[in-house]
Each structure stands twice: as structure tokens, then as C-alpha cells.
Structure 1
Amino acid sequence: MVAKKSICIVGPSKRFLSGISYYTISLANAMSVEKKVSVICFRQLLPTFLFPGRSHVGKNISNLNFSPELPVFDGMDYNNPLTWIRAYSFIKLQKPDVIILQWWTSSVAHLHLLLRLFAGLLNKPKIIIEFHEVVDPFEESILPIRLYSRIAGKLLRKNLDAYITHSESDKQLIAERYAIAPDKIHVIPLGLFDQYGGLLEENEAKEILSIKEDFIILFFGLIRKYKGAPYLIRAFEQLPIETLEKSRLLIVGEIWEDRKELLDQIEASPYSERITLVDEYVPDEKVSLYFSAADVVVLPYLRASQSGIAHIAMAFGKPVVVSEVGGLKESMAGYEGTFFVPPGDVESIRKAVLNLLGKSEYYESPDQKWDKIINRYIELIQSI
């Protein structure tokens, strides 16, 4: 019977904390309400000094945890065969009927392959791979990593029982790039990242952050080249002077790429005193603080599959100026607080931001609660 099926979810632990860590925990906790769930975490993903966010590795900066009743193996290390043996024992004990592998980087492809091998040696569960990235542009730009990614990825993706992605556009890209039959690729939207509590009163949030300006424009999340922060800075500089005098641009997130270029651009800006850069991976207890202070959230991405930041902004009911790219066109189309702009278009960003400043409007969050999302997973599991 489907009701007796057990599911093992595989994703990164909180040691290398990222949006995929939050996603894995949220998915496992929500799924456990309906099914027997276990979890295998990848703990040490790669040599720490190679990780762009190494400053926060191992720090306890998230309040989100797996439900206490969930069996969790935490975890597998990229370089420790003893942890691989323990993972084998864990799978043998749990006997999952279905394994869901989270794919976001090729750095852990060999661990995915090991788990697929272990499953084949034991009770041969159905295996699903869930794509959070079609391809990482940084990995694609380095020849040895690109070759490794293609070889390991091809072995991993071969003849799986199902594939999950989060938008129709990504489904099409995955089908074309990896020669996977479209009918085996299933689109399941992301659930809202609503674990950060409610909004604070705006003036209280500004006081805590020592902000005196009336209008706050927020760029939030890991700072990478494809996320387009330089375009937002240029758009900010082109706001009318009477608006600039009452505004502050908050760029909040750990810098992963192009650090010097970003710092130089801010320093050279004629309005640098109105730009605040917070270069850190923001701990959970401070997330609500920044979104509470913000009048508008801007995500000027040049490309994107999905955005966890967009789902945080929607959970808080904030207006979001976002590039009309990739899966964002689908995931945010139903949210009334979405204001699409063409990617890399400074003037469109400027106009959208200017139109929203001072309105302080709250938007109803879309109906993407995790219980409804889980029903889609259960339907898929039943079908295979």
C-alpha cells in the first residue's frame, strides 16, 4: 500500500548552511506528517577553504531543525569512507521504498552515486532526483569541474524513476540538456520559506538597524555575479534627488563572487553614503528584521531557476521587483506583489522601485504552504 511507503530524503546538512539545507529540512518535516521519512545529510561537502561561504561553515545560525522523531544520519563527508559505510548501514536499517536526491552542485555527485549503488545492493528503492539548478555557471566555467560534472551527472541521471524540478521552463531545459523524456520530469513548486516569524513594526526594525531614512530598498541573499547587484546600484543612483535624500539601499548577504568589483562600485558611487553593504550570511533571527524595514525587495537576477529569497519576500507580503527570467516568471506570476522587469535593464528597475517607494502596501502571500506541496510529492510517489 502507498500509505506504508517510506521515503529517504538526501540533502546538505546545516554545517554548510544554504537555501538547500533549509529546503531539505522543510521538505522532510512536512513529508513526515504523511509518510515515514528518514534523512541522510551531506556534512562536509568539499575542502572548507574552497567554499566561498567558509566564514559561516559549522556555525549555529539557523533555528530550523529536523523534527525530533525523524531518523537523521548527519552525515556523509566527501572524503571519509567511514561515513559512507555508516550511510550504507543507515539505508539498510531504514529500508526506504523511495529515495529523493537533492541536486544543486556537482561537488557531491560521487556521494549521490554511492547512495545509488548502496540502494541497488539492498532493497532497490525507487530513486528520484530533484533539480534545484540545471547547471551552476561557476562550475560550468572551470574545465576540470565541468568535465567531472558532466561525467558524474550522466551516470547519476541514467534510468532514474522520476525527476523533479520547480518550473516548466526548467523542465524544458533539463529535458533538452540531459536528454531526459519530458514525461518523466515532474514540476512541483517551491513551498514558502515562512519559518522566520512575523514582521516587526517598520519603525522598530529601522531603529534596531540604525536607519533614519524613510525609504528602504533591500537586496538580500548570497551575492553572486548572476544576481545582478550592480544593476540595482546604478538604478538607485538614478532615482530623483529628492527621493535619494530620503532613501537607503541595503545590500545584505555574503559575497561569493566579484567582491572587489562590488566594493569598488559602491565606493565610487556619488551616493555611497546612502548604500549599506552587510557582508554576512544572515542568521535566522535577523532575517525578519531586514524584511520588516524594507519598503521594496529587489532581485535583479540575470538568470535564475528559482529564488528562496523571493519565497521569503512573498511569505512576508513584501513588494518584489524581480527580473522576468527562468522559473521566476512562473513561481511569482500569481503573487500580486510581483513587479517584473527585464534582466539587466537599469531604467526599468529604477521606474519600478520609484513607483513603489512610499506605498507601504502589504500583499497576501500565495497559497504555497508545505502541506499542499507535499500532496504533489505523494501523487508522484504513488505514480511510480
Structure 2
Amino acid sequence: MKKDQEKVVLFSFYGRSGMWHYATQYSNALSKFKKVYLVCPTFADKEFLCNRVKILEINSSPSIKNFILDTLNIFQHLKLLIKIWKINPSSIHFLDNHPWSIIYALLLKMLGFKIIFTQHDPIQHSGEPRKHIQRIINRLQLIIGDYIVVPSNLFKEYIVKKWKVKEKKVVVYPHGHYAFFLKYKNKGVKEEENTILFFGRILKYKGLDLLLKSLLILKKEGYKFKLIIAGAGDLKPYKKLLEKIKENVEIHNRYIREEEIPHFFQRASIVALTYHDATQSGIIAIAYPFGKPVIATNVGSLPEFVIEGKTGYIVDKNPDEIAKAIKKILYSRSTREEMKNNCKKITYEILDWEKNLKKILYIYD
């Protein structure tokens, strides 16, 4: 049966946080060019989706117990497969590395559909709880997929050389901006002087230790600052460092809801991404629309998205270098204002979802 070239089915099984933000904005952008159907969990917040995107819901609970039951619910999976068969899209695109993606991809490939995967993390992070499972899923995706979408040229080169994948099979699509968070801005919240934001899940690879050591240097030199830590995760490994600058730290050690996110970015002067290792970062996609300069370590594809001296600084994984970069921005109002304007401008030049999609639409033909 000839496929409908105007239709594309996208999959996003996680339904919350960064993966869901990405899926909704990608779906919205692609719907400007194709008829888009998005498979997603019933619990996912559909508020971020435009009315052009047609939703196909499935039970995919975030709790382990219910997830096992959802996995064993053969009826719901069969029902979804029948729906997709009737839609008859040109392509099936999995936007994350959920374990179900492999099973669905194999079944849909046997039914004659083109399979596309987005790999956000071609190289797994240190300290990531699921990194061994992710590595296996990534490898299977390279075998099954007709196209693999990655966020930067760095990772295209890695996949082509490491796994001997044909170059034309790997497509670069930069992570788009999260300007949709601007609609949650609170007019009463203002930027707070000398405030650094460390935002997101607290995991070993995120390098909170590097940031704390750099701020300890600033404290010893007599500089005033405030650090806001906002995100879920284990802070015990950083207890001693936090104790040394406790009067300068504000901690929100929990999951941050979508409507709360702008509050923290509005208050910040700069955003710190002092990672030990990384592939990309959705934090930049939030920081730029809010006009917040970024200090990032020279890891993964971060240097491709931080324009040196324009939207922030790229530094080595060294507390002294991080401290120097912080001082350049935090204590110079003119530098911050210039970078603020640059960040907002870059949002719609480099990180525009639709503009970048036009370059890869051929993968759906």
C-alpha cells in the first residue's frame, strides 16, 4: 500500500520534563509542513501542543509497577498499531529512547514503514542511572533506523566513525528554543543582582561540584553573589562545599513544574552549565529566550551553541577558569546587557525549530 507522503507519526512515550518539551515543540514545528500525529502518554500535558497536531494517546505510566502493567497490556498496543496502519504515514519518527521505541520500531518496520530515530545522547552521561540500557537502545536504533537525527555535527561524526554508519543516514538537527516558557513569565519577578542559576536534575555529570568550587574562589576574593539551585537529585555529595557558602545559596531540591521554570530564569543574572560531560543541553534552549548568558564547560556539543563572548563563555573544567568567566559577566552590567540582547537574537536565528526543519524535511519523503 502506497504511503501518504503528507502524514507523519511521531512517538514520545515519556510525557514530561525535557523530553516532552522537545517532543511538543518539534511536533508543532513539523505540523507547519506535514500532517502530524503524536503518540504520547495519557498523563502528558497537551497544553504545549498546537491544534494542528493530532494526538494518539497510550497508557505509559512513569511508575515502575504501572509501567509493567502497561507494557503487558497487549490490547492497547495492538489498537495503536491498527490506528497507525489506517493513518498510513510516510514515516514513523521516535523522538526519544524509551524502551518501547525498539519494539514498536521493529513491528512498524515489518509493516513497511520508514523508521526515524532522534538520539539526544549518542554518548551516555557519567552517573546516569539508565546509561547501560540507553547504550543498548541507541545501538539497536542505529541498526533499525532508516535515518538517525542528532543534535550536532560532533555527534554525527562520532556515530559515523565509531559505528561505521553511512554518513547520509545521520542527519543533524540542532535543539530548538523553548521560548514557549515566556508565556508563564511573571511581570512582578525581576532579575536579581549577581545571581547564578544552576537548573535541572542534579546528577554527577552536571558538575555542580565545579561550580561550587569556583564560587568558593569568588567568596574568598570578597565578591558578592547568590547561587540558586533548582532541581531534583541527591545533594549529599556536595554537602561540605555547600556548607562553606551556605549564606550565598538558595536551594529548591525538588521537581520543578513547568509553570515555575520562568520564575527561576527571570531572577537569574547568568546560567551555569559546568558539566563534567555532556551531549547537549535543553537549559540553553530556555536561557536564551529569557536573555540569560551562559557559562558552559568545553564538553559535548555545548561549544556549538554558546557563542564565545557574545552569549556567554566556554571554559575548561577548572574552577579557576569558571570563576574568571563568572566575574566577566556577573560584575559588568554593560556586558550582561549586550549578551542579553545577543541571547534573545540568537534564539530565533540559530535555535528556530521551523527554519532548521526545512533543511531536513527530505527524511520524511
CA contact (8 A) 1:196 1:288 kept: yes
**What is aligned with 1:195?**
180
TM-score by length of 2: 0.84
Q: Per-residue displacement from partner, 1:242-264 (whole Å, max 9, x unpaired)?
A: 754x3211111111xx4321234
C-alpha distance in 1, partners of 2:46/2:221?
41
Asked if the contact 1:219/1:252 (under 8 Å) is kept, the reply is yes
What is aligned with 1:184? 169
Paired residues of 1:28 and 1:66 also in contact (CA < 8 A): yes
Provide, for residues 303-327 of structure 1, a one-character-per-residue CA deviation record: whole Å limited to 9, x for no partner.
1111000111111121111112111
Structure 1 residue 138 displacement after superposition: 5.6
Matched, 1:285 2:259: yes
Indicate conservation of the 8 Å contact 2:126/2:277, yes or no. no
Equivalent residue for 2:93, pick from 62, 87, 100: 100
Q: How many Å apart are 1:10 and its aligned residue?
A: 1.0
Report the alpha carbon displacement of residue 351 of structure 1 after superposing the two structures with TM: 0.7
CA contact (8 A) 1:13 1:42 kept: yes
1:356 lines up with 2:339 in the alignment = no
CA offset at residue 181 of structure 1? 1.6
Check 1:2–1:125 CA distance in 2 against 1; reply closer, same or farther (3 A cut): closer
Tell me what 2:120 maps to. Answer: 132
Contact 2:3 2:88 (8 Å CA) reproduced: no
Deviations along 1:133-162, whole A, 9 cap, x unmatched? 1133368888xx73x555554444215321
| Identical amino acids, percent of aligned pairs | 24
**Shift in Å, 1:380:** 3.3
Counterpart of 2:209 in structure 1 is 230
Q: Cα distance 1:289–1:334, how it changes in 2: closer, same or farther (>3 A)? A: same
Aligned to 1:372: 355
Matched to 2:273, the amino acid is: L
Counterpart in the other structure of 1:272:
246
Cα distance in 1 between the residues matched to 2:116 and 2:186: 40
Q: Deviations over 1:72-91 (max 9, x none)?
A: 22225352323321221221
C-alpha distance in 1 between matches for 2:150 and 2:194: 37
* SS at structure 1 position matched to 2:213: helix
Which structure 2 residue ranges, 5 or more long, are not aligned?
61-66
Aligned length: 343
CA deviation after TM superposition for structure 1 residue 241, in Å: 5.3
CA RMSD of aligned residues (A): 2.8
How far is 1:285 from its partner? Answer: 2.0
User: 1: distance between equivalents of 2:145 and 2:301?
Assistant: 23
Q: Distance in 1 between matches of 2:263 and 2:134?
A: 38
Q: CA deviation at 1:338?
A: 2.0
Instruction: State the AA in 2 paired with 1:168.
Output: N
Which string of whole-angstrom CA distances, capped at 9 and with x for unpartnered residues, describes residues 276-320 of structure 1?
Answer: 111122222222221111111111011111100011111112111
Compared CA separation, residues 304 and 93, structure 1 to 2 (3 A): same
Residue number in structure 2 paired with 1:209 = none
Segments of 5+ residues of structure 1 without an aligned counterpart are 44-57, 207-212
Q: Does 1:303 align with 2:277?
A: yes
